[in-house]
Chain A
Amino acid sequence: MIERLDQVFVILKHWLLGYLPQSWQTPVGVVISVVCIIGLYPALFAVTTVLERKGVARIQNRLGPNRVGPYGILQPMADGIKSLTKEDIVPTSADGVVHFLAPIILVVTVFMGFAVLPMGRNMVLVDMDAGLLFYFAMGASTELSVFMAGWSSRNKYSLLGAMRAVAQMISYEVALLLSSVVIVMMTGSLSLVKIVEAQNHYSYGLPHWFIFTPWGLAGFIMYAIAGTAETNRSPFDLPEGESELVAGYHTEYSGFKFALFFLGEYVAMFSISGLGSTLFLGGWMAPLAALQFIPSWIWFFGKLFVSMAVFIWVRGTLPRLRQDQLMNFAWKFVLPMCLLNLFVAGLWRFMGDGWLRWVVCSAILILAYVSIGREGMRRKHFGPRSYRYAE
C-alpha cells in the first residue's frame, strides 16, 4: 500500500499508456510527463505568489491581500485575468522579433531544467547521465533571454537592467557550478538520479545527506547564495531594482509577456530549489528513516516549499546590494570559498573514515570563512554615517 502510494503517479501513467499501442507508448508517455510538469509548476507559482505577498506582509506587520476569495487565496486568479486582458504593447523602435522571443526563451529554458530533476522515486522525465551538466546549460540560457529582452526593448532602463543581470548571472554562475562540483567529486556521477541514490542510506535513523558534512554545508551555503543571485531574487534583485530601473530588463513588457517573465522568475526559483535539495538535501528522501512511509514526492515538494519560504523570508529581511558590493561578494568571497571547498572535498575523500577528517575539514573551512570575512570587512566602516557636504 505504501509502495503503491509512493508510485501512484508512475502507476497512473502506465495504466493510461496501457490503452495505447506499443509503438505509441514512449512518445505519449513523455508528452504526459511534460504536460504534468508544465501544468504543475505554474500552479505552484500561483500559490507561491499569494503566499509570498502574505508572508512579506506579515513580516512587515501588515495583512497582505485578503479581498479576493477567503483570506485572499484567489488573488492569483485575479492577477492572471488582469495580465491576460491587458494590452500587449511593443515599443515602435523595439526589435519586434527578439522582443517577442525573449519571454518565450526564458520560460522554455527554465522548464527544460525540470526534465532531469527527480521529483520522487522513479519520477524523472529523462534520467540523463549528464543531467547536472544539462541543467546548468539550460540555466545559463536564461541569461540570453534576459539580455535579449533588455537589448531589444531599446530602452535605457531595460538595457541597464540587462547589463546588470548578465554581469551578475555570469559572476554567480561560476560560484553555482563550483559549489555543485563537490557533489560530483563525491558521487562520481553527473546523473541527478544517482546523486540522490548516493545519499539514500541511513545510519542510526539519520540520513546521509551531503549537507551534514563540512564540505556539504559550505557548498550548500555557497549554492544558496549563488542560486539566489542566479534567480535575481532579493537581495540580489539589481536587474529589476524597481527603485532605480523601473523594472529592469522587462520594463517594456506588458500584459501576458510580462506575466511570462514573472512566471519564469518563479519557476526558476522552484527549479534552483529543486536542484539544491537534490544535491544537498537528499532529493525525495525522508529526513528520518522512521518517516520513510510518507511518499517520496511529498518530501520533494515539501523541501521545495521550505526553500521557497526561506527565499521569501530572506526577501522580507535584506535590503538590495549595491553593484560593487555584489561583484566584490561574488569574486572575493563566494568564489574563493568555493575553490577552497573543492580542496576540502578532495581532502575528505582521501582521508578515509574517522573523526580526524571531520576536525580537519571543519577547521579549514571555518578558519577560511572567518579570515576572508575579516579581511573583507577590515576597511569597512560600520556605524553612523557622516556626510561631508550635506549637514
Chain B
Amino acid sequence: MLGDGILKGLAETAKNFAGSFVSKERMTTVEYPEERLPLPEASRNFPFLVYDGDDWEKGLRCVACQICEKECPPKCIYIEKSKDKKPDYVGKPQIYPAKFDIDISVCMSCQICVEVCPFEAIKMNTEFELATDDRFGGLLLDRKELARSNEYYHQIHPTEASEVDARLAEEKSKVEAKARAAAQAAAAKAAATPTTAIPSTPLPGKPAANVDARPASTAKTAEDNKNAETRATNEGEPKA
C-alpha cells in the first residue's frame, strides 16, 4: 500500500534514535582529542633517530655515514659529521652526527632513509600532531628533537623493534666471538713469544657490558684495544 515504505523507514530511524542512547556499540564516533584509537603498527609519519640507554647524545646509533642524506629523494636530511669519535653499540669508536636535521615540511614519508640505513639508526615515527605556528623553524627538527629511545621504538613498532634488536644482538655476539678468537690467538702468540708490545690507551666511555662479556684474561684491555683497532681498519661495516 502507498505509504508503508515511509512508515517502515520511520520505524527504522526511530529504532536508531532510541538505540543510540542504549547501546554503546552503535556509536562509531571517537571523540578525538580526548579519545584516541590505537595506531596500527604499520603506521608511519616522519623519521626519528634511535638511541640506546638513557643519554640520547651518547646512545645515538647514527654514525653520520650520510647514506640517508644521499638517498633521500626530496633532500630533507642535513648531516654534519663530528670531528671526534665515540664507541658504538659493539664498542667500536665511530664518528657521530654533530648536526642531524630533518625538514619535515619537505619530508614525504617514503621511508627510504630507514631502508638504506645499515646501523638501524633511523626509523619511522608515528607521531602526527606536529602542527606549529613557526612555519620554518618549527618544522625543522634537529637531532635532539629527532632522538627517541629504543624503548619508545618498541612501544610504537613492537615486532619490527624486536627484529632489529635480535639482529643487533646477533651482530654483537658475532663480533665478540671474533674478538674472543683473536684474543686467544694473541694469548697463544704471547705464550710463544714472551714480550709483546702493543701500544695503546684505554678508550674513554667504553660500555661496561662489553667488558663483562669478555673472558677474564691478564692482557684484557690491551687485547681489546687491539681488536677494536683492527676492526676499525679492516671492516667498513659492522654487518657480516
Decide yes or no whether B26 CB sits under 8 A from chain A.
Answer: yes
The DSSP consensus for interface residues of chain A is helix
Decide yes or no whether A290 CB sits under 8 A from chain B.
Answer: no
Q: Contacting chain B: which of A55-63, A92-100, A196-204?
A: A55-63
Question: Cβ of A318 and Cβ of B1 under 8 Å apart?
Answer: no
Question: Cβ of A63 and Cβ of B27 under 8 Å apart?
Answer: yes
Bound-state CA distance A369–B10 (Å) is 20
Decide yes or no whether B159 CB sits under 8 A from chain A.
Answer: no
Contact A63/B10 with A55-B17, A369-B2 known, Cβ cut-off 8 Å: no
Decide yes or no whether B128 CB sits under 8 A from chain A.
Answer: no
Question: Cβ of B9 and Cβ of A61 under 8 Å apart?
Answer: no
Q: Contacting chain B: which of A171-179, A300-308, A309-317?
A: A309-317
Q: Contacting chain B: which of A104-112, A237-245, A370-378?
A: A370-378
Q: List residues of chain A with CB within 8 A of the CB of B235.
A: none
Within 8 A of A (CB), among B1-50: 1-3, 6, 9-10, 12-14, 16-17, 19-21, 26-29, 31
Within 8 A of B (CB), among A341-389: 369-370, 372-374, 376-377
Q: List residues of chain A with CB within 8 A of the CB of B17.
A: 55, 58-59, 313, 316
A-B contact count (CB 8 A): 50
Distance to closest chain B CB from A389 (angstroms): 28
Candidates A58, A313, A373; contact of B21 at CB < 8 Å:
A58
Q: List residues of chain B with CB within 8 A of the CB of A317.
A: 6, 9-10, 12-13
Question: Cβ of A313 and Cβ of B14 under 8 Å apart?
Answer: yes
Question: Cβ of A63 and Cβ of B16 under 8 Å apart?
Answer: no
Question: Cβ of A61 and Cβ of B13 under 8 Å apart?
Answer: no
Candidates B1, B3, B31; contact of A63 at CB < 8 Å:
B31
Contact A376/B2 with A62-B29, A63-B27 known, Cβ cut-off 8 Å: yes
Q: List residues of chain A with CB within 8 A of the CB of B31.
A: 63, 66
Bound-state CA distance A373–B2 (Å) is 5
Q: List residues of chain A with CB within 8 A of the CB of B10.
A: 313-314, 317
Question: Cβ of A316 and Cβ of B13 under 8 Å apart?
Answer: yes
Bound-state CA distance A314–B11 (Å) is 11
B26 to chain A: closest residue by CB: A61
Bound-state CA distance A318–B27 (Å) is 21
Interface residues on A, range: 20 to 34
Q: List residues of chain B with CB within 8 A of the CB of A55.
A: 17
Contact A61/B20 with A313-B10, A317-B12 known, Cβ cut-off 8 Å: yes
Bound-state CA distance A314–B7 (Å) is 10
Q: List residues of chain B with CB within 8 A of the CB of A373.
A: 1-3
Within 8 A of B (CB), among A269-320: 313-314, 316-318
Bound-state CA distance A313–B18 (Å) is 12
Proximity string of chain A (306-339) to chain B, C-beta cutoff 8 Å, 1 when within and 0 when not:
0000000110111000000000000001000000
Candidates A59, A66, A370; contact of B1 at CB < 8 Å:
A370
Q: List residues of chain A with CB within 8 A of the CB of B1.
A: 370, 373-374
Q: List residues of chain A with CB within 8 A of the CB of B3.
A: 373
Q: List residues of chain A with CB within 8 A of the CB of B12.
A: 317
A374 to chain B: closest residue by CB: B2
Distance to closest chain A CB from B27 (angstroms): 6
Proximity string of chain A (24-67) to chain B, C-beta cutoff 8 Å, 1 when within and 0 when not:
00000000000000000000000000000001001111110010
Bound-state CA distance A372–B31 (Å) is 49
Bound-state CA distance A377–B6 (Å) is 14
Bound-state CA distance A258–B112 (Å) is 51
Bound-state CA distance A90–B87 (Å) is 71
Q: List residues of chain A with CB within 8 A of the CB of B20.
A: 58-59, 61-62
Candidates B6, B14, B16, B21; contact of A60 at CB < 8 Å:
B16
Question: Cβ of A377 and Cβ of B13 under 8 Å apart?
Answer: no
Distance to closest chain A CB from B65 (angstroms): 49
Within 8 A of B (CB), among A57-80: 58-63, 66
Bound-state CA distance A61–B24 (Å) is 10
Candidates B6, B16, B27, B29; contact of A59 at CB < 8 Å:
B16
Bound-state CA distance A66–B34 (Å) is 13
Proximity string of chain A (195-213) to chain B, C-beta cutoff 8 Å, 1 when within and 0 when not:
0000000000000000000
User: Which of A58, A60, A370, A373 counts the most chain B CB atoms within 10 A?
Assistant: A58
A319 to chain B: closest residue by CB: B9
Bound-state CA distance A63–B20 (Å) is 9
Distance to closest chain B CB from A355 (angstroms): 25
Bound-state CA distance A62–B13 (Å) is 13
Bound-state CA distance A354–B9 (Å) is 37
Bound-state CA distance A61–B28 (Å) is 7
Q: List residues of chain A with CB within 8 A of the CB of B26.
A: 61
Distance to closest chain A CB from B25 (angstroms): 10
Given A62-B20, A62-B28, A63-B29, 19 additional A-B pairs, CB 8 A: A55-B17, A58-B20, A58-B21, A60-B16, A61-B16, A61-B28, A63-B31, A66-B31, A313-B14, A313-B17, A314-B10, A317-B12, A333-B2, A370-B1, A372-B2, A373-B2, A373-B3, A374-B1, A377-B2
5 contacts between A and B (CB under 8 A): A61-B19, A62-B20, A62-B29, A317-B9, A374-B1
Q: Which residues of A contact B (CB under 8 A)?
A: 55, 58-63, 66, 313-314, 316-318, 333, 369-370, 372-374, 376-377
Q: Which residues of B contact A (CB under 8 A)?
A: 1-3, 6, 9-10, 12-14, 16-17, 19-21, 26-29, 31
A-B pairs with the 4 shortest C-beta distances? A373-B2, A317-B13, A58-B20, A59-B13
